Amino acid sequence: MIQSMSRGFEDFPVGTRLVSHSCAITTKDIIDFARRFDPQGFHLDAKSAEKTLFGGLTASGWHTAAVSMRLFIDAMNVSGGIVGLGVDELKWPNAVRPGDELRVETEILAARRSKSRPGYGIIRLYNITKNQRGEVVQSFMANAMLPARGS
């Protein structure tokens, strides 16, 4: 079975650490996302952003979250799918700016079989997104469900 060759719950025991590939964020990426989902001056226009708290164009926190999800999904490489169950302590301690290159570091904090859904496991993870200087631009903890390989 092809399914059984994919990574699953058993591949992410407590203490597992993953580092994603990196993703560059362009001015166009920032503005495109902001126009649709977070149309505020500091995310939309470099000139008007200069006069704000940020002193320049910055990505929406939800844009950072979305890019981080992509990096996380790619690093996990679970073809059966990962279902987010909830997120805690989502923070954006530093702004993401045009040209930044983001990378996600994941640590598995807990892992158990699902009681209600046989064949699935639930992991608790800590995800940190860093820029090219190693500064943290996002962090959160989350619970997620994913299929086990062996079932």
Residues near a copy of itself (CB under 8 A) = 33, 36-42, 52-53, 60-63, 65-67, 69-70, 73, 79, 81-92, 117, 145
Answer for the pair 18, 105: CB distance below 8 angstroms, yes or no. yes
CA gyration radius, the chain: 17
What is the Cα–Cα distance from 110 to 119, expressed in whole angstroms?
Answer: 17
* 8-state DSSP, 4: G
Q: For residues 39 and 99, which CB has a smaller minimum distance to a copy of itself in the complex?
A: 39
Tokens at 129, concatenated: 């997104």
- Least CB distance to a copy of itself at residue 68 (A): 9
Tokens at 141, concatenated: 């903890």
CA angle in degrees (0–180, nearest 5) for 117-118-123: 70
Residues in the chain: 151
- Least CB distance to a copy of itself at residue 27 (A): 17
Q: For residues 108 and 141, which CB has a smaller minimum distance to a copy of itself in the complex?
A: 141
- Least CB distance to a copy of itself at residue 23 (A): 10
- Least CB distance to a copy of itself at residue 81 (A): 5
- Least CB distance to a copy of itself at residue 133 (A): 21
Q: For residues 9 and 92, which CB has a smaller minimum distance to a copy of itself in the complex?
A: 92
Q: For residues 64 and 131, which CB has a smaller minimum distance to a copy of itself in the complex?
A: 64
Q: For residues 15 and 98, which CB has a smaller minimum distance to a copy of itself in the complex?
A: 98
Tokens at 80, concatenated: 């059966």
Q: Half-sphere exposure of 139 toward its Cβ, with a 13 Å CA cutoff?
A: 10
